[in-house]
Amino acid sequence: MVHNGFMLVVHIVQHLLHTFLDPQDDELDLAVAELFNGMTCGEVAASLHQSLAKFIVPDNPEKILSLVAAKASHHRALGSADLTCALQACRGRGNRWPLVLEIHATSVVRGLGADRLIGNLLIDLYAKNGLVWQARQVFKELSARDHVSWVAMLSGYPQSGLGKEAFRLYSQMHWTAVIPTPYVLSSVLSACTKGKLFAQGRMIHAQVYKQAFCSETFVGNALIALYLGFGSFKLAERVFCDMLFCDRVTFNTLISGHAQCGHGECALQIFDEMQLSGLRPDCVTVSSLLAACASVGDLQKGKQLHSYLLKAGMSFDYITEGSLLDLYVKCGDIETAHDIFNLGDRTNVVLWNLMLVAYGQISDLAKSFEIFGQMQATGIHPNQFTYPCILRTCTCTGQIELGEQIHSLSIKNGFESDMYVSGVLIDMYSKYGCLDKARKILEMLEKRDVVSWTSMIAGYVQHDFCEEALATFKEMQDCGVWPDNIGLASAASACAGIKAMRQGLQIHARVYVSGYAADISIWNTLVNLYARCGRSEEAFSLFREIEHKDEITWNGLISGFGQSRLYEQALMVFMKMGQAGAKYNVFTFISAISALANLADIKQGEQVHGRAVKTGHTSETEVANALISLYGKCGSIEDAKMIFSEMSLRNEVSWNTIITSCSQHGRGLEALALFDQMKQEGLKPNDVTFIGVLAACSHVGLVEEGLSYFKSMSNVYGLNPIPDHYACVVDILGRAGQLDRARRFVDEMPITANAMIWRTLLSACKVHKNIKIGELAAKHLLELEPHDSASYVLLSNAYAVTGKWANRDQVRKMMKDRGIRKEPGRSWIEVKNAVHAFFVGDRLHPLSDQIYKFLSELNDRLSKIGYKQENPNLFHEKEQEQKDPTAFVHSEKLAVAFGLMTLPPCIPLRVIKNLRVCDDCHSWMKFTSEVTRREIVLRDVYRFHHFNSGSCSCGDYW
């Protein structure tokens, strides 16, 4: 019996050793036999019992397993101490899970499932190896929990990325009246950091103060990591200053946190403090410092650290090698980077990826593909970071087709659902307008991170799909993804794009809640948002709060005011920018020149042009395009043509701008010649080009040519006409008096006519006195825009010119009943840096008496050479008899008279009017230019008229 029992023990031990070590090792059987040779069963049991304590951390864990098995085989009850020792032996011993599970099962069978010592070890083993659910089950079954139980459980959650669950567990612990230890608090803080639970982390910080654990170094380290993880550098530094003792982990955490956020200078300053405290840097310190040097481009300091690594004899692991290579790559020293790469571990995929980044940084796509090919030929398998490296190079160089091939390769190698790869793919497709492809990738992802969402939102914003961007931003939050600084900035840009101030205010509030109040990129976007929405006071207030303003800050304010039509404020900021010593860039000049173009302020425009020449920015195509538009809108078409002719590089915008300018100035044939030249130079016309071409045909009466150009849009260039193009065709036919043909064209259009098309037709009916078609156009127009005064005025004038006074009065009554007021005719002229405005029959100007006297004398001179004033046909005879004749003097006549009185003879008169010039004023200005021998440039709502020597550039066709 004893012999049989002894042999049973031997067989059990042999079975266990073969199961967990080597099933084919016959020497194990001999080892077990020798172990128990000459012993009785009692001696074996006693030996096992006495030896268990010696094998808590044994050098030969197999020995303790055999001893436990032998004790079990002799039917001796395994107690808590036995199983505890066995579990201790399993810690840090590789894959012992079958044995751990067997010990766990044995503890349950023996009635020790609720034992605290055994349970704590099981919780620790399960939690640290990612088996959180199993750890949680053991934790629930414990009869009593001590601090070790809570710490083991709490430390397991953050390691598995379950920060919220860790915080809930801590709340449970708090309610059970267990006083947290410093280690518990540090574990929960780590969980909050990994789970991005900033608010909860602040609550734990308050608990740290309450328990007076601030002096504990590892608690302070956890707090610093928390605040750095959320970008709260000031709070992290405050914790650092309050710590009594800082170890190497403290400094490494601070240095790493600043380096990762691009605060290289701060990281280097902290390193100086670390040296003063007597702590020697380790490999982690130096790697972080190398990253800091890389972020600020301090190659010299990086080389010193490189030397320090060599002199200190520190081992070069994959992190150190990667940091060194990253330094030389980001500092542009590609040659040294390649040398380090050749000397490094060629099996390290990180180094290959960094070389892909290096050549991508200099946009060398050929070299990037060469490295990519060598990598695969060497047998190194690309990982989830390899494909993004080369995809970014494809994006940067505009090689979308090659990017699609890499996309296919990533799918083939199983990275289709990888969030990192997908995020870069979404970014690539979004930047090049393939938004449907980008959206499809996003929707295919089972788990979408903040990068994927943000890339999609930024893509929508970049291509002016602002509503879709905001909808995606909301969808991201609904999915529980917290936006980062880039996402918030993109959402704010979307709000600015559609002037969604209400949503913008919500995003502004979210910025503060998210802890990004110090992020200048978000502040710049918010400044632009308020400026674009016309909230000048709020924009200036935010602008003043930014301590370190960059060019983007200034440009955002200037362009924002320009886009909200606050042109004077935009120019004021432009002047202050120069006074503050900030450097102008391309975007600054484009925004300022665009504001001046809308103000038609040629004097200030010439001054800004001069500044652009001094800074060398006129060589930039975009700036030259803005200048062409400026001079075109200010009536100086010759200057616009000169800038165009001097451009070394022209794009589609350049051609479109000069074609449109020539068209507006009545030089339709020149515009069409430029269009032919554009095609000869290989540039493909777009929608904007054809608006200029069709307008040119309209202004010079080229009906059939205009229709031919319109048909060529779809037949030759594959462009689908938009409502603006149809309105141009209606204008071509209407100006030529072919109103029946214009009406048929509208009826046969494949799209529904909008207000612009009907307004164009109604305006032509008024000019050519066709009230029948005019009433039809007015009916549709009033249905589409019942509150637009221009529609009523056009119809009223159409009735007036055809003598239908009762109908005219009915329209006027309708306007009065609906509370609609007519926009009064108004003209502006600049004299001695001051803009003077005039209304019809204006008597408000300080020099009105002199102006009317001068005008009377001028009319006498004009009548002698054939000018005959046309009676206002918008008033019947009784109305004209009841009013003072000066009440009918149009504003442009008053502006021209004032200009003739005050401006030197050598300066052309430039007048702007908000309505279409009438026949009488047009005739009057031709005679005035002849009598006074002055050039008069009149810009009305449709075009420019250049009056000189008794003729007009429009050829009396307008």
pLDDT of residue 53: 36
DSSP state, residue 262: T
Instruction: Answer for the pair 558, 573: CB distance below 8 angstroms, yes or no.
Output: yes
Going by their DSSP bridges, the two strands 834-839 and 944-948 should be labelled as unpaired
CA distance linking residue 491 with residue 793, whole number of Å: 41
Does the model's pTM come out above 0.75?
no
**413's tokens:** 């190698």
pLDDT of residue 75: 46
Which whole-number Å values give the CA distances from 844 to 688, 841, 880, in the listed order? 42, 9, 22
Tell me how far apart the 2 most distant CA atoms of the chain are, in Å: 148
pLDDT of residue 172: 64
Strand partners, 837: 828
Instruction: Answer for the pair 666, 944: CB distance below 8 angstroms, yes or no.
Output: yes
Given a cut of 50, whether residue 9 has pLDDT beyond it is no
CA distance linking residue 820 with residue 573, whole number of Å: 36
- Average pLDDT taken over every residue of the chain: 82
The phi and psi torsions of 909 (rounded to 5 degrees) equal: -90, 125
Given a cut of 70, whether residue 803 has pLDDT beyond it is yes
What average pLDDT score do residues 781-802 get?
89
Instruction: Answer for the pair 124, 146: CB distance below 8 angstroms, yes or no.
Output: no
Query: Do the two domains 248-344 and 741-822 of this chain adopt the same fold?
Result: yes
Given a cut of 60, whether residue 246 has pLDDT beyond it is yes
How does pLDDT run across 868-909, given as a tens digit for each residue?
A: 887 655 555 555 544 555 657 899 999 999 999 999 988 899
CA distance linking residue 247 with residue 102, whole number of Å: 41
What average pLDDT score do residues 769-773 get?
93
How does pLDDT run across 701-743, given as a tens digit for each residue?
A: 999 999 999 999 999 999 999 999 999 999 999 999 999 999 9
- Residue listed under structure tokens 């069963």: 41
Which whole-number Å values give the CA distances from 83 to 20, 72, 78, 912, 951, in the listed order? 17, 11, 7, 96, 111
Going by their DSSP bridges, the two strands 936-939 and 909-913 should be labelled as parallel
| Apex 519 CA angle, 518 and 521, nearest 5 | 145
What average pLDDT score do residues 444-461 get?
91
| Residue 301 CB coordination number (10 Å) | 18
How does pLDDT run across 27-40, given as a tens digit for each residue?
A: 444 444 444 444 44
- Residue listed under structure tokens 């005050």: 902
DSSP state, residue 648: S
Domain ranges within the chain, ordered by starting residue = 1-144, 165-245, 248-344, 741-822, 828-876+883-952
Given a cut of 60, whether residue 832 has pLDDT beyond it is yes
The pLDDT > 70 percentage for the chain reads 79
Strand order in 826-831's β-sheet?
834-839, 826-831, 909-913, 936-939, 944-948, 951-952
Q: Which residues of 414-437 are buried (b: 16+ CB within 10 A; e: fewer)?
A: ebeebbbbbbbbbbbbbbbebbeb
CATH class belonging to 248-344: mainly alpha
Shortest CA distance to 382 belongs to which of 354, 340, 353, 346? Answer: 353
Residues 6+ apart with CB under 8 A from 879: none
The pLDDT > 90 percentage for the chain reads 42
CA distance linking residue 491 with residue 470, whole number of Å: 6
The phi and psi torsions of 936 (rounded to 5 degrees) equal: -120, 125
Q: Where are the alpha helices (H) located in 716-754, listed in sequence order?
A: 723-735, 739-748
DSSP state, residue 620: S
Given a cut of 70, whether residue 920 has pLDDT beyond it is yes
Residues 6+ apart with CB under 8 A from 333: 299
Going by their DSSP bridges, the two strands 909-913 and 826-831 should be labelled as antiparallel
What average pLDDT score do residues 829-838 get?
90
Q: Give the residue, 822 or 199, on which the prediction is more confident.
A: 822
Q: Give the residue, 165 or 937, on which the prediction is more confident.
A: 937
CA distance linking residue 722 with residue 603, whole number of Å: 36
| Apex 795 CA angle, 794 and 800, nearest 5 | 95
pLDDT of residue 660: 95
pLDDT of residue 716: 94
Strand partners, 911: 829, 938
Which pLDDT band, with edges at 50, 70 and 90, does 958 fall under?
confident
pLDDT of residue 876: 52
Among 417-431, 509-523, 606-620, where is mean pLDDT lowest? 509-523
Going by their DSSP bridges, the two strands 909-913 and 944-948 should be labelled as unpaired
Instruction: Answer for the pair 225, 187: CB distance below 8 angstroms, yes or no.
Output: no
- Most confident segment among 194-208, 310-324, 457-471: 457-471
pLDDT of residue 327: 84
Residues 6+ apart with CB under 8 A from 44: 6, 9, 36, 70, 74
| Apex 366 CA angle, 441 and 351, nearest 5 | 75
pLDDT of residue 690: 96
The phi and psi torsions of 829 (rounded to 5 degrees) equal: -145, 140
Chain-centroid distance of CA 905 in Å reads 53
Given a cut of 70, whether residue 80 has pLDDT beyond it is no
CA distance linking residue 809 with residue 823, whole number of Å: 17
Going by their DSSP bridges, the two strands 826-831 and 951-952 should be labelled as unpaired
Give long-range contacts, CB 8 A cutoff, 24+ apart: 60-67. 61/89, 61/90, 61/93, 61/96, 62/17, 62/20, 62/21, 63/35, 64/89, 65/13, 65/16, 65/17, 65/20, 65/89, 65/99, 66/13, 66/16, 66/17, 66/32, 66/35
CA distance linking residue 760 with residue 740, whole number of Å: 14
CATH topology of domain 741-822: 1.25.40
**Strand positions, DSSP E, 65-156:** none
Which pLDDT band, with edges at 50, 70 and 90, does 280 fall under?
confident
Shortest CA distance to 841 belongs to which of 879, 882, 888, 875? Answer: 888
Task: Tell me what percent of the chain is helix, strand and coil, each rounded to the nearest 5.
Answer: 70, 5, 25
Amino acid at 264: G
CA distance linking residue 958 with residue 954, whole number of Å: 6
How does pLDDT run across 590-634, given as a tens digit for each residue?
A: 999 999 999 888 889 999 999 999 999 999 999 999 999 999 999
**492's tokens:** 């704010």
The phi and psi torsions of 772 (rounded to 5 degrees) equal: -65, -55
pLDDT of residue 39: 47
Which pLDDT band, with edges at 50, 70 and 90, does 48 fall under?
very low
